[in-house]
């Protein structure tokens, strides 16, 4: 399993006046986890605006994949 890294950036403007950028970088040590296992991640938020961030939240979404072979057809179900 490999490391996972996600980066995103949002530019804030109002009436075509730039207010700055907020960037986030999230890193996970691997791609697969067992049910109930603790997930440790590294989160870096870069606020390059003139305003302080009041709230910042993170959501982890479970994605499952099931593959099976039957006598009649190949089944590949992703959720």
**Taking the domains of the chain in order of start, what are their residue ranges?**
4-78
- The span from the CA of 27 to the CA of 2, in Å, is 11
The tokens describing 8, both together, are: 């995103």
Residue 21 · residue 49 · CB < 8 Å:
yes
Q: What is the pLDDT of residues 5-20, one digit of tens each?
A: 989 998 888 787 778 8
- The span from the CA of 21 to the CA of 25, in Å, is 13
- Asked whether residue 76 carries a pLDDT value surpassing 90, the answer given is no
Residue 57 · residue 26 · CB < 8 Å:
no
Strand arrangement of the beta sheet that strand 17-28 belongs to: 4-14, 17-28, 42-49
* pTM for the model: 0.64
Between 56 and 5, name the one with better pLDDT. 5
Q: What is the mean pLDDT of residues 38-48?
A: 91
């Amino acid at each position: 399993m490999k490391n996972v890294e996600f980066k995103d950036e949002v530019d804030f403007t109002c009436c075509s006046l730039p207010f700055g950028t907020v960037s986030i970088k999230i890193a996970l040590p691997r791609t697969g986890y067992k049910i109930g296992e603790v997930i440790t991640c590294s989160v870096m938020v870069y606020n390059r605006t003139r305003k302080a961030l009041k709230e910042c939240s993170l959501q982890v979404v479970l994605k499952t994949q099931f593959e099976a072979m039957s006598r009649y057809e190949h089944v590949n179900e992703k959720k």
